[in-house]
Structure 1
Amino acid sequence: MTIGLKDSRSILAPHTVLLASAGSRKALAMAQSLKAFGARVLGVTSYATDPHRFSRFFDRVIVLRGVDRKSISWAVHVAEIAAAQGAELVLPVDFVDVVTFSSYAGVFEKLGTRLVAPEAKAVLEASRKDSLPKLVGDVVRVPYSVTFMAPSEVEIKAVKRLQLPLVVKGLGDASHPEYFSSYELAAERARERAPCLVQEYVAGRGRGYFAVAFNGDVLMEFTHERIYEYDPAGGASVAARGPILDPRLFRLGREIVRRLEWTGPLMVETKWVPTTEEYYLIELNTKFWGSLALPVSLGYHFPVVLAVAYLKGVDAAKEFCNYLMVQSGEYYFLLDSLFYLFRIPETWAEMFARSRIIRSDIDLTDPARVAVQSLIAMVRGLRSRSEWKRGLAVASSRLKTILKLSKPIAGVVFDLDGTLVRLKIPWSEVRRKLVSKGLLYEWESIRKGFTRLWYSDKNLYYGMSSIVENFERKYLHNIEILVNVDMLNDIKQNYGLSYYIVTLQPESIAKDIAQRIGLQVDLVLGRNSGFGPVKENVFHKALSCRDKGDFVVFDDDLTNIIFALRAGFLSVLVTESKYNKIHSLRLGILFTEPRYIHDVIISLLRNMKRPREPAT
Structure 2
Amino acid sequence: MISAGTGMETTTLVDRADCVSVPGHAASSGSVASQCLSPRRGEVLLLGDDTRTMLPVIRSLGRKGVAVDAAWVSDRSPIRSSRYLRTVHELPRLDEGPECWVPALEALVHCSSYELVIPVTEPALFALQEQRHRLETGVRLGMIDSDVFIATSDKGMMQRIAERAGIPTPRSWSVDSMAQLDAALAQQNGPVVVKPTCSIAIDDSPLKHFVQIFDDRSECRFAARTMLDRFESIVLQEYVAGRGCGVEFLARNGEMLVTFQHRRLHETSGHGSTYREGQVPSPELANATQRLLRAVNYTGVGMCEFRVDDETGRWVFVELNPRFWGSLPLAAASGVDFPWYLYQLLTEGRTDFDCQPRSGLRSRNLSADLRWMWRALIRRGTGASAVHEQTCGWRLNEVSGGRLLCDAMRLLLWRDSIDSFARDDWRPFVRELLRLCQRRLPAIAQRTR
TM-score bracket relative to the smaller structure: 0.7 to 0.9
C-alpha separation between the residues in 2 aligned to 1:151 and 1:340?
33
Q: Are residues 1:63 and 2:94 paired?
A: no
**Is residue 187 from structure 1 mapped to residue 221 from structure 2 by the alignment?**
yes
Aligned residue for 2:169? 142
Native 8 Å contact 1:209 1:222 kept in 2: yes
Contact 2:194–2:237 at 8 Å: present in 1 too?
yes
The match for 2:238 is 200
Greater Cα offset, 27-36 or 100-109: 100-109
In 2: Cα distance, 1:106 partner to 1:306 partner = 22
1:133 aligned to which of 159, 163, 175: 159
Work out whether residues 159 and 319 of structure 2, in 8 Å CA contact, stay in contact via their aligned partners in 1. no
Compared CA separation, residues 69 and 140, structure 1 to 2 (3 A): farther
Deviation at 1:354, TM superposition (A): 6.4
TM-score (norm 1): 0.55
Paired residues for 1:401-480 under 5 Å = none
Change (3 A) 1:380 1:342: farther
Match of 1:4 in 2: none
- What is the alpha-carbon distance in structure 2 between the residues aligned to residue 356 and residue 312 of structure 1? 38
Deviation at 1:97, TM superposition (A): 1.8
Relative CO higher for 1 or 2, CA cutoff 8 Å, sep ≥ 6? 2
Tell me the percent identity: 24
Q: Which residue of 2 aligns with 1:249?
A: 285
SS at match of 1:253: helix
Determine the C-alpha separation between the residues in 2 that align with 1:355 and 1:368: 18
- Per the alignment, in what secondary structure is the counterpart of residue 86 of structure 1? coil
Indicate the residue corresponding to 1:312 in structure 2: 348
Name the aligned partner's letter for residue 358 of structure 2.
Q
2:256 is the counterpart of 1:225 = no
Q: 1:172 corresponds to which residue?
A: 198
| 1:123 corresponds to | 149
1:156 Cα offset (Å): 0.5
- The superposition leaves residues 528-552 of structure 1 with CA deviations (integer Å, 9 ceiling, x where unpaired) of xxxxxxxxxxxxxxxxxxxxxxxxx
1:373 aligns with 2:432: yes
Partner residue of 1:327 out of 344, 347, 358: 358
Amino acid in the other structure paired with 2:219: L
The Cα shift of 1:383 comes to 8.2
Distance 2:340 2:147 in 1: 25
Cα 1:72–1:127 change in 2 (3 A) is farther
What SS class does the counterpart of residue 262 from structure 2 fall into?
strand
Write the distance in 2 (CA, Å) between the matches of 1:34 and 1:104. 26
* Amino acid in the other structure paired with 1:122: V
AA matched with 1:370: F
SS of the counterpart of 1:139? coil
> SS in structure 1 opposite 2:136?
helix
C-alpha spacing 1:377/1:312, structure 2 compared with 1 (3 Å): same
Identify the residue that residue 285 of structure 1 maps to in structure 2.
321
For 2:70 and 2:443, locate their aligned partners in 1 and report how far apart those are by CA, in whole Å.
28
Task: Note the 1:571-586 alignment, pairs <5 A.
Answer: none
Deviation at 1:74, TM superposition (A): 3.4
* 8 A contact 2:193–2:238 mirrored in 1: yes
Corresponding residue of 1:114: 140
Retained in 2: the 8 A contact 1:69–1:100?
no
Write out per-residue CA displacement over residues 234-266 of structure 1, whole angstroms, 9 at most, x where no aligned residue.
641111111333211111111111111001112
Tell me how far 1:268 sits from its aligned partner: 0.5
Mapped to 1, the partners of 2:58 and 2:428 lie a distance apart of 13
| Mapped partners of 1:30, 1:244: distance in 2 | 23
| 8 Å CA contact 2:195, 2:234 repeated in 1 | yes
C-alpha deviation, 1:11, in angstroms: 7.6
Kept after mapping to 1: 8 A contact 2:55/2:420: no
**Number of residues paired by the alignment?**
371
Report the 3-state secondary structure (helix = DSSP H, G, I; strand = E; otherwise coil) of the residue aligned with 1:337.
helix
What amino acid is the match of 1:128?
D
Q: SS of the residue aligned with 1:206?
A: strand
Partner of 1:161: 187
Q: Which residue identity is paired with 1:326?
A: P
**Are the structure 2 counterparts of residues 197 and 335 from structure 1 closer, same or farther at C-alpha, using a change threshold of 3 Å?**
same
Counterpart residue type for residue 161 of structure 1: Q
* 1:338 equivalenced with 2:396 (yes/no): no
Work out whether residues 41 and 58 of structure 1, in 8 Å CA contact, stay in contact via their aligned partners in 2.
Answer: yes
Deviations 1:416-460 (A, max 9, x none): xxxxxxxxxxxxxxxxxxxxxxxxxxxxxxxxxxxxxxxxxxxxx
Q: Structure 2 vs 1, CA of residues 115 and 377 (structure 1 numbering), >3 Å: closer, same or farther?
A: same
Partners of 1:22 and 1:234 in 2: CA distance: 17
Cα distance in 2, alignment partners of residues 69 and 282 from structure 1? 33
Secondary structure of residue in 1 paired with 2:178: coil
TM-score normalised per structure 2: 0.75
Compute the displacement of 1:169 (Å): 2.1
Cα deviation, residue 70, structure 1: 6.4
Shift of 1:301: 0.8
Secondary structure class of the residue paired with 1:361: coil
Aligned pairs for 1:464-543 (under 5 A) are none
Q: 1:187 to 1:340 in 2, by over 3 A?
A: closer
Aligned to 1:477: none
Which residue of structure 2 lines up, in the alignment, with residue 80 of structure 1? 107
Structure 2: gaps spanning 5 or more residues: 1-35, 200-207, 378-403
Provide closer, same or farther for how the CA distance between residues 135 and 74 of structure 1 changes in structure 2, counting only shifts above 3 A.
Answer: farther
Structure 1: gaps spanning 5 or more residues: 1-8, 390-616
Alignment check: 8 A CA contact 1:226 1:241 kept? yes
More helix by share: 1
Shift of 1:99: 2.3
Q: CA deviation at 1:360?
A: 4.2
Instruction: Tell me the distance in 2 between the aligned counterparts of 1:360 and 1:16.
Output: 24
Mapped contact 2:52–2:419 kept (Cα < 8 A)? no
Distance in 2 of aligned mates of 1:13 and 1:270? 39
**1:43 CA displacement:** 1.0
CA-to-aligned-CA distance 1:79-111 (integer Å, 9 cap, x gap):
432443421111111122222223322333333
**Contact 1:219 1:305 (C-alpha < 8 Å) held by counterparts:** no
- Whether the 8 Å contact between 1:342 and 1:385 is mirrored in structure 2 is no
Secondary structure at the counterpart of residue 115 of structure 1: coil
Q: For the structure 1 residues 89 and 178, does the alpha-carbon distance in structure 2 shift closer, same or farther, using more than 3 Å as the test?
A: same
Confirm or deny: 8 A CA contact 1:70 1:96 kept in the other structure.
no
Decide whether the 8 Å contact of 1:19 with 1:93 is kept in 2. yes
* Offset, 1:172: 1.3
Distance in 2 of aligned mates of 1:12 and 1:383: 46
Which of residues 278, 284, 294 is equivalent to 1:258?
Answer: 294
Given that residues 421 and 428 in structure 2 are in contact (C-alpha distance below 8 angstroms), is that contact kept between their aligned partners in structure 1?
no
1:343 counterpart SS class: helix
Q: Which has the larger radius of gyration?
A: 1
Could you tell me which amino acid in structure 2 is paired with residue 335 of structure 1?
S
Cα shift readout 1:9-31 (whole Å, capped 9, x = no counterpart): 97883211111014431110111
Check the 8 A contact 2:195/2:211 in 1, yes or no. Answer: yes
Judging changes above 3 Å, is the alpha-carbon distance between structure 1 residues 365 and 312 closer, same or farther for their aligned structure 2 residues? closer
Q: Deviations over 1:302-348 (max 9, x none)?
A: 111111111111xx341xx12x4532222121133332464346567
Instruction: Give CA deviations for 1:216-237 in whole Å, capped at 9, x if unaligned.
Output: 12221111111112x3x66411
How far 1:285 sits from its partner (Å)?
Answer: 0.5
Give the Å deviation of 1:358: 4.4
Alignment equivalent of 2:250, drawn from 198, 206, 212: 212
- Residue 39 of structure 1 and its aligned partner are, at CA, apart by 1.0
SS at match of 2:156: helix
